[in-house]
Chains A and B, each alone.
Chain A
Amino acid sequence: MTKQAANWSPYDNNGGSCVAIAGIDYCVIAADTRMSTGYSILTREYSKICKLADQSLMASSGFQADVKALQKFLAAKHLIYQHQHNKQMSCPAMAQLLSNTLYYKRFFPYYSFNVLGGLDTEGKGCVYTYDAVGSYERVGYGCQGSGSTLIMPFLDNQLKSPSPLLLPAQDAVTPLSEVEAVDLVKTCFASATERDIYTGDKLEIVILNADGIRREYMELRKD
């Protein structure tokens, strides 16, 4: 008796792209605001970026219902941490928590492709990139989502990420100014929107630095 393939899937893909770039003393996290299903648009104004702690922001693409559930879970864990330790979670700590949370559901994963951005304990920018089941790595820049295959090669070219094959190991932080990083992100999304049908509408950029959090918006193609 041949195994029957399931004719119902618990997952859906709501599309979209996310990018994060770490700087010397800042971190830029950006995501488009389009939520789609199949060939239709559900909404043009959905934020994929969530503030998990004062120094950590998470941008997630994939199945937004799972993303919402994940954000809720992390917020609850963070609240308990604050009660127990009388301080906010640092970005590296949040990174580990996210990885553990994702792996906990290894056999029924959160269909969520995340990029975590923030400032580490020394105030330097940090970006962590994840897969759906929690494998993570600290990097200088990362991107996930439907446009990631279009954006990543461009970021590699511009930010000259040291290859992990090259020794000695180089610092995982990019030597760009904050203004240049924001300009780069805008170009990435304007280009990804041209060629990816799931990316578009509006771009939300969040800049995190020693002075706090700042938000910027930019219009993208709506077709």
Chain B
Amino acid sequence: MSKAAVVELPPSGGFSFDLCRRNDMLSKKGHKSPSYFKTGTTIVGLIFQDGVILGADTRATAGPIVCDKNCEKIHYMAPNIYCCGAGTAADTESVTDMVSSQLQLHRYHTSRESRVVTALTLLKSHLFKYQGHVQAALVLGGVDATGPHLHTIYPHGSTDTLPFATMGSGSLAAMAVFESKYREGLTKDEGINLVCEAIRSGIFNDLGSGSNVDVCVITKGHKEYLRNHQLPNPRTYVSSKGYPFPKKTEVLLTKITPLKEQVEVIEGGDAMEE
């Protein structure tokens, strides 16, 4: 009689926390866990007289190394809603993609333009459900039937509704600019200049942020995505003579050891058994 086997159900999705205890033990013994790509980052948003302006830098880091000098941190959510993401790059990318799809389906279902609070609720419920393990810190902005809206969303799922906001490692540098110069009823040009100034402050004073400034202006019925609106960091030195690299690995030494002599060849032995 065979013992009744316990049927192992395959995981139906979501996180598997099976290795947590092992990882904890390893880190106590001094083993370094692999790092993720974080978007160091400075992201900002502000409300001006006609709508919302979002801004972001373009540097992605893996520890102290820059892994992408010109990445896109302003993500599309809906024709009238955009979202900036800071934190782990994979998390911000997938959570905004996922909610963007959900909004599209909702638009088909309701035949109406998406509202910013809808995106907000979908994002915060998802992040709360994962208890902060999805490390995405977002600045969500858009203009819908109820007016312009700007929100910040933290990795654990809490949200704030603000007239101006900053997130990421460069948020303090950017907020310093906003707190000095923000006022209600800015014009579009003033708003864009202020956003650029705040992002530049993050780029130059925070080591986790750098490269270029991306801006997105959203107004009623219209949006402008200004990719690389400012490029304040050109390469400082290019050698005039250039560097020719040899096309293949250089051969330093060639030594051939014929193997045939090491092997005894016995002619006419027994055939191998089946």
Give every chain B residue within 8 A of A146 (Cβ-Cβ): 64
* Interface of A (DSSP majority class): mixed
Known: A196-B64, A221-B236. A40 touches B206 (CB 8 A): yes
Q: Is B239 an interface residue (CB 8 A)?
A: yes
Q: In the bound complex, how far is the Cα of B238 from the Cα of A26, in angstroms?
A: 24
Partner of B211, one of A40, A157, A166, A223: A223
Q: Is B20 an interface residue (CB 8 A)?
A: no
Q: In the bound complex, how far is the Cα of B59 from the Cα of A190, in angstroms?
A: 17
Which B residues, 220 to 270, have Cβ-Cβ distances below 8 Å to chain A? 232-233, 235-239, 241, 243, 245, 252-253
Partner of A187, one of B64, B209, B239: B239
State whether B243 touches A197 (Cβ < 8 A).
no
Q: In the bound complex, how far is the Cα of B241 from the Cα of A184, in angstroms?
A: 10
Closest residue of chain A to B30 (Cβ to Cβ) is A5
Q: In the bound complex, how far is the Cα of B203 from the Cα of A222, in angstroms?
A: 8
Scan B33-66; emit 1 where CB is below 8 A from any A CB, else 0.
0000000100000000000000000010100111
Q: In the bound complex, how far is the Cα of B245 from the Cα of A158, in angstroms?
A: 8
Q: Is B207 an interface residue (CB 8 A)?
A: yes
State whether A186 touches B245 (Cβ < 8 A).
no
Closest residue of chain A to B173 (Cβ to Cβ) is A40
Give every chain B residue within 8 A of A194 (Cβ-Cβ): 66, 69, 235
Which A residues, 175 to 201, have Cβ-Cβ distances below 8 Å to chain B? 183-184, 186-187, 189-190, 193-198
Give every chain A residue within 8 A of B114 (Cβ-Cβ): none
Number of B positions contacting A (CB below 8 A): 29
Give every chain B residue within 8 A of A219 (Cβ-Cβ): 236
Q: Separation in Å of the B185 CB from the closest CB of chain A?
A: 32
Q: Separation in Å of the A87 CB from the closest CB of chain B?
A: 39
Scan A61-85; emit 1 where CB is below 8 A from any B CB, else 0.
0000000000000000000000000
Q: In the bound complex, how far is the Cα of B245 from the Cα of A187, in angstroms?
A: 15
Partner of B66, one of A39, A157, A196: A196
State whether A183 touches B253 (Cβ < 8 A).
no
State whether A41 touches B207 (Cβ < 8 A).
yes
Closest residue of chain B to A149 (Cβ to Cβ) is B65
Q: In the bound complex, how far is the Cα of B86 from the Cα of A39, in angstroms?
A: 15
State whether B233 touches A221 (Cβ < 8 A).
yes
Partner of B169, one of A39, A189, A198: A39
Task: Count CB-based A-B contacts (< 8 Å).
Answer: 70
State whether A39 touches B207 (Cβ < 8 A).
yes
Known: A39-B40, A190-B238. A223 touches B203 (CB 8 A): yes
Partner of A220, one of B61, B203, B209, B236: B236
State whether A183 touches B239 (Cβ < 8 A).
yes
State whether A197 touches B235 (Cβ < 8 A).
no
Q: In the bound complex, how far is the Cα of B239 from the Cα of A36, in angstroms?
A: 28
Partner of A40, one of B61, B66, B205, B232: B205
Known: A40-B207, A223-B59. A166 touches B233 (CB 8 A): no
Q: Is A9 an interface residue (CB 8 A)?
A: no
Q: In the bound complex, how far is the Cα of B66 from the Cα of A223, in angstroms?
A: 11
Partner of B236, one of A166, A195, A197, A218: A218
Q: In the bound complex, how far is the Cα of B41 from the Cα of A39, in angstroms?
A: 11
Q: Separation in Å of the B209 CB from the closest CB of chain A?
A: 7
Give every chain A residue within 8 A of B237 (Cβ-Cβ): 186-187, 189-190, 218
Query: What are 20 pairs between A and B in contact, CB < 8 Å?
Result: A39-B208, A157-B245, A163-B252, A166-B252, A183-B239, A183-B241, A186-B237, A186-B239, A190-B235, A194-B235, A195-B66, A195-B69, A197-B61, A197-B64, A197-B65, A197-B207, A220-B236, A222-B233, A223-B209, A223-B233
Residues in chain A within 8 A of chain B (CB atoms):
36, 39-41, 146, 150, 157-158, 163, 166, 183-184, 186-187, 189-190, 193-198, 218-223
